Amino acid sequence: MGKPHPIELRTRVVAFVEEGNTHRATASHFRVSIKFVNDMVKLKRETGSLQPKPQGCRGHGKLSGVKDWVRARMGSKPGTTLDELRLALQHEHGIEVHRSSVGDLLRRLGLSHKKRFTRQRAEAA
């Protein structure tokens, strides 16, 4: 997602429309899309402000309430796979998510989900 247009541009676009110019003429004058002009006029009418709306993830997902449980679970059973953890979340908390969502959560928490078999550890030593 790109950055929002500056407030100065937003203000000038809305002022230009309020002076009586059409949306199409305003878009041409400021070299922006007609949709941008429409959106700015609508935003000004509905909110009274031209501040951009928040972008991106705000941290409110299905798994935001179980971070501590996942940390504790991975601490007590470090060899747990993504599928095992996903099934445990489903049975114990009633949360149904895709395994990639569980993997993303583990990455954000700085935890690993990869199993290390005894043979692999012995070879590395």
Q: Dig out the tokens for 93 from the structure.
A: 């908390």
Domain presence at residue 31: yes
Q: How many domains does the chain have?
A: 2
Residue 76 forms part of a structural domain: yes
Same domain, 71 and 105: yes
Q: Do 68 and 110 fall into the same domain? A: yes
Q: Is residue 52 part of a domain?
A: no
Same domain, 31 and 79: no
DSSP-assigned letter for residue 67: H
Statement to judge: residues 29 and 69 lie in one domain: no
In a domain, 55, yes or no: no
Which domain range does residue 79 map to?
64-124
Cβ neighbours of residue 116 closer than 8 Å, sequence gap 6 or more:
79
Tell me the pLDDT tens digit for each residue of 15-68.
999 999 999 999 999 999 999 999 999 999 999 999 998 887 666 788 888 999
97-102: average pLDDT: 90
Q: Which of 18, 53, 56 is nearest to 37 (CA)?
A: 18
